[in-house]
Amino acid sequence: MNSISVSFSKMLFFIKKDKMLLVSCLAPLLAGSFFKFVIPIIDLKVIELSSLSVFLAPFYGIFDLFFILLTPILFCFVSAMVVLEETDENISKYLFITPLTKKGYLISRIGIPTIIALVVNVVLLPFFRLTDFSFSQIIVFSIVGALQGLISSLLIVTLSTNKLEGMAITKLTSIALVFIMVPFFIESKIEYILSPFPSFWMGKAFCEKNLMYIFIALGLSLVWIFILMKRYLKKII
């Protein structure tokens, strides 16, 4: 456990030196503040200046779900960039044969950031939310959101060989944010084309107020993680 904490502290030191990664860690606070304070103002101004009775209010849930996904995706993006940097410099291979081992390395680089993202969501969502979330809903949605961040991280380190490729893969993983919106706008069966993606079920769980869908998202997330972890472990052998 001590080797894992030392390894994680070294990652934090690396992040501190890289301004882009540091800003990425702070971005959830900026995004949450924008959603909480600016979006309602925009909503009111548009209603005042138009003949609309409602504008953004029916879609406030999208902003809450965005926040739930954004924090883990950004935190895990940062950790994935560190992993790719260490892979480029062959540092990770050295760490594998130290007391840290591969398991400890993965925990310190991917596991701990995922847990931190979960905690951050649970703490900040009650302050930044625009819709009603019970504490149990915050916990469940935050767990699934954290797993989406883990999936994003595994996709980046599995499919990329360097940081440049990692940036490109990160843009692809952000599509998960789009999938969340689909249940808000499409009510036909065609929406189930996206059923393999956990974020789709997160949106559906919120829209239909049915937590059964969030457990589908949880199960799918675990399947994705299992498949990607197997591929990543084969890659680093």
Q: Which of 197, 204, 211, 212 is nearest to 182 (CA)?
A: 204
Give the whole-angstrom CA distance, residue 204 versus residue 191: 10
Give the whole-angstrom CA distance, residue 218 versus residue 73: 16
Give the whole-angstrom CA distance, residue 111 versus residue 78: 13
Q: Which two tokens stand for residue 103?
A: 């398991």
In angstroms, the Cα distances linking 37 to 30, 58, 78, 110, 127 are 11, 16, 27, 32, 11
H-helix segments, 89-210? 91-96, 101-106, 112-128, 135-159, 163-173, 175-185, 198-208
User: Tell me, what's the pLDDT at 217?
Assistant: 95
3-state secondary structure of 190: helix
Per-residue pLDDT of the chain (237 residues; tens, 9 = 90+): 688 888 888 888 888 888 888 888 889 999 999 999 999 999 999 998 887 888 888 899 999 999 999 999 999 889 999 888 888 887 887 878 888 888 888 899 999 999 999 999 999 999 999 998 888 899 999 999 999 999 999 999 998 887 778 888 888 777 878 899 999 998 888 999 999 999 999 999 999 888 899 999 999 999 999 999 999 888 876
Q: Which two tokens stand for residue 90?
A: 């062959």
Buried b vs exposed e over 184-214: b needs ≥16 C-beta within 10 Å? beeeeeebeebeebbbbbbbbbbbeeeeebb
Q: Which of 66, 69, 73, 71 is nearest to 154 (CA)?
A: 73
What burial class does residue 117 get, using C-beta atoms within 10 Å of its C-beta: 0-12 exposed, 13-18 middle, 19+ buried? buried
Q: Which two tokens stand for residue 102?
A: 């591969």
What burial class does residue 183 get, using C-beta atoms within 10 Å of its C-beta: 0-12 exposed, 13-18 middle, 19+ buried? buried
Q: Which two tokens stand for residue 194?
A: 């996206």
Q: Which of 117, 75, 86 is nearest to 14 (CA)?
A: 86
User: Tell me, what's the pLDDT at 1?
Assistant: 65
